[in-house]
Amino acid sequence: MNQIKPIVGITMGDGAGVGPEIILKSLGDPEIYDLCRPVVIGDSKILNRAKAFVHSDLKVETIQEEQIADLPYSFGTVYCLDLNLLSEDLPIGQVSAEAGHAAFEYLAKAIDLANKKAIDAICTAPLNKEALHKGGHKYPGHTEILADLTGTDEFSMMLSAPKLKVIHVTTHVGIIDAVKMINPERVYRVIRLAHDTLVKSGIENPKIAVCGINPHAGENGLFGYGEEEEKVVPAVNKAQGEGINVVGPLPADTLFFRTVRGDFDIVVAMYHDQGHGPVKVLGLDAGVNITVGLPIIRTSVDHGTAFDIAGKGIVEEKSMTEAIRQAVELAPKRK
């Protein structure tokens, strides 16, 4: 039975930033329409304004929510669910409460659509945290909005580059604090999140590899103070006991090479630089940030609003294009 192409809702992000430009540039690639049915959740007038910046010939067509499932989705037309929240003369490259509030509303609408199964995945263009706060929404960013509006307590960051996916046990903390925070239950939860996310994406029995904390994964106590045996091994054993295809702890210095080679589907990294470094080397301009643990699929570009170059048409769209591709890969499969 043939699979139906997923519907990907692309939120416009902060309309004063580069979001409209990277969306138009990405949807200027016919291959995107071979993969999915993209619909932009934003403001048509701002997309039309951005066409001049990026010299786009695409037609922007305003649609209603009830039309989403029945549109032809052919290359050349960008469908926009127009929330009509921004003024036509919104200043480009400036922080504004108007754009911050609109960015929140685009995401809230996308979450609502995903919850109702009207779309299969969300792909977000960048928002600006200062503008978001000025607009009356006191969240650190996209992830916290998504967690709040979906009632999610357990979630994690997954980074994806071509041939490599990495999920983190800890992220934005110092290395000493990271080691303190790592414990068997935390490692187990991240292994489970990795497994469940990839199974939902269509990988029946994902191969998961877990990094050690110390060089050479401790090498039987030669390095460190037994952190692997204390903090990682019990989590791996628990997951294996539940039938999860996971191994570790393994030395990080060879594990990422092995994963890129195809030995594993995803790596569980213990701390920020252990996981971020390899992803950035492999895909600095094509990296994608994926929030896992949510009841819906959400991917995002791995950069900000870039106010300094907004409106100039020079922003690279590779991260947005890859984020759309990852949304398609992770989206529940319809038949």
| Residues 290, 327, 144, 296, CA torsion sign | negative
The pLDDT of residue 220 is 81
The pLDDT of residue 286 is 67
The pLDDT of residue 1 is 42
Kindly give the interhelix angle for 44-54 and 19-26, rounded to the nearest 10 degrees: 70
The CATH T-level fold of domain 7-152+294-330 is: Isopropylmalate Dehydrogenase (3.40.718)
Task: Report the 3 state secondary structure along the chain.
Answer: CCCECCEEEEECCCCCCCHHHHHHHHCCCHHHHHHCEEEEEECHHHHHHHHHHHCCCCEEEEECHHHHHHCCCCCCEEEEEECCCCCCCCCCCCCCHHHHHHHHHHHHHHHHHHHCCCCCEEEECCCCHHHHHHCCCCCCCHHHHHHHHHCCCCCEEEEEECCEEEEECCCCCCHHHHHHHCCHHHHHHHHHHHHHHHHHCCCCCCCEEEECCCHHHHCCCCCCCCHHHHHHHHHHHHHHHCCCCEEEEECHHHHHHHHHHCCCCEEEECCHHHHHHHHHHHHCCCCEEEEECCCCCEEEECCCCCCCCCCCCCCCCHHHHHHHHHHHHHCCCEC
| CB neighbourhood size of 133 (10 A) | 15
Q: Which residues contact 18 (CB under 8 A, 6 or more apart)?
A: 125, 126, 305, 306, 309, 310, 315
Q: For the chain, where do the domains classified as CATH 3.40.718.10 start and end?
A: 7-152+294-330, 156-281
Rounded mean pLDDT of 313-325? 93
Rounded mean pLDDT of 37-59? 97
With a cut of 80, say whether residue 283 has pLDDT above it: no
Rounded mean pLDDT of 267-283? 88
Residue 36, CA distances (Å) to 8, 206, 301 in order: 7, 23, 17
Q: How confident is the model at residue 279 (pLDDT cuts 50, 70, 90)?
A: confident
- Any bridge partners for residue 60, and if so which? 78
122-155 per-position pLDDT tens digit = 999 999 999 999 999 988 778 889 989 999 988 8
227-265 per-position pLDDT tens digit = 999 999 999 999 999 999 999 999 999 999 999 999 999
**pTM across the whole model:** 0.81
Q: What is the mean pLDDT of the chain?
A: 92
Rounded mean pLDDT of 92-112? 97
CATH H-level superfamily of 156-281: Isopropylmalate Dehydrogenase (3.40.718.10)
Lowest-confidence range among 30-39, 151-160, 191-200, 316-325? 151-160
164-187 per-position pLDDT tens digit = 999 999 887 889 999 999 999 999
Please give the single-letter amino acid code of residue 329: E
With a cut of 60, say whether residue 160 has pLDDT above it: yes
Kindly state the tokens that stand for 209: 């590899």
Rounded mean pLDDT of 48-71? 97
